[in-house]
């Protein structure tokens, strides 16, 4: 794995606006605390032409804190890219959450149920399966892929289907976060 210093992040990706201070914080606080699978997924993403779409590691640490505070059992990830925040979420949510009675989203999708996917906790939606598959081997190596159901689609179609289907009954917490290509982060938390 390459040295993380060889992976400068665009300054606009983080919370700080002074490049020297941002670099110092990354090197002394963020990178040393970043789990190896997350470093690995960042490394495999680095050479990709759209690497700027990946979650910044300092933002990832904030997400991890929020996940620990909220303790959600299930999540929906809209905009997966190569899976940095997806992996972060999968390793930080407890193993006891279950999704029950999810609908058949499309005719070619298999219906999800407790009997077939009892460990499923994350619905990951993205129209670009190729980008997701860049990080998938790292997610599998971290042994959290059983928590994830990836759906290759535009998010609105899937969300509309979920909302329209009266068989959807999700108990516990649901965190939905959207990573937009405009580098803006929109967070919505629903408690149920």
CB 175 within 8 A of CB 75: yes
Contact 183, 156 (CB under 8 A): no
Could you report the per-residue pLDDT of 16-73, keeping only the tens digit for each?
Answer: 678 888 889 889 999 999 999 999 999 999 988 899 899 999 999 999 999 999 988 8
What percent of the chain is predicted at pLDDT more than 70?
Answer: 64
Among candidates 59, 17, 53, 10, which has minimal Cα distance to 34?
Answer: 59
Question: 35 with 133: CB under 8 angstroms?
Answer: no
| Residue 8 pLDDT greater than 90, yes or no | no
CB crowding 89-109: b at 16 or more within 10 Å, else e:
bbbbbeeebbbbebbebeeee
- CA dist 11 to 23, 30, 56, 64, 116, Å? 9, 15, 10, 21, 44
Percent pLDDT > 90 in the chain is 46
């Amino acid at each position: 794995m390459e040295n993380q210093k060889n992976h400068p992040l665009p300054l606009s990706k983080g919370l700080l606006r002074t490049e020297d201070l941002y670099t110092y914080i990354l090197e002394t606080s963020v990178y040393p605390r970043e789990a190896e699978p997350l470093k690995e997924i960042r490394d495999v993403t680095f050479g990709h032409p759209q690497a700027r779409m990946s979650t910044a590691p300092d933002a990832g640490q904030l997400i991890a804190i929020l996940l620990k505070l909220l303790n959600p059992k299930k999540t929906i990830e809209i905009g997966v890219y190569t899976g940095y925040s997806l992996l972060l979420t999968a390793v930080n949510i407890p193993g006891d959450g279950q999704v029950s009675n999810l609908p058949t989203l499309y005719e070619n999708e298999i219906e999800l149920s407790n009997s077939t996917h009892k460990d499923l906790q994350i619905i990951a939606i993205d129209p670009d399966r190729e980008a997701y598959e860049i990080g998938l081997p790292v997610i599998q190596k971290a042994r959290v892929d059983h928590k994830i159901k990836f759906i290759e689609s535009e998010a609105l179609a899937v969300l509309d289907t979920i909302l329209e289907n009266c068989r959807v009954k999700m108990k516990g917490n649901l965190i939905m976060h959207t990573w937009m290509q405009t580098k803006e982060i929109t967070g919505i938390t629903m408690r149920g």
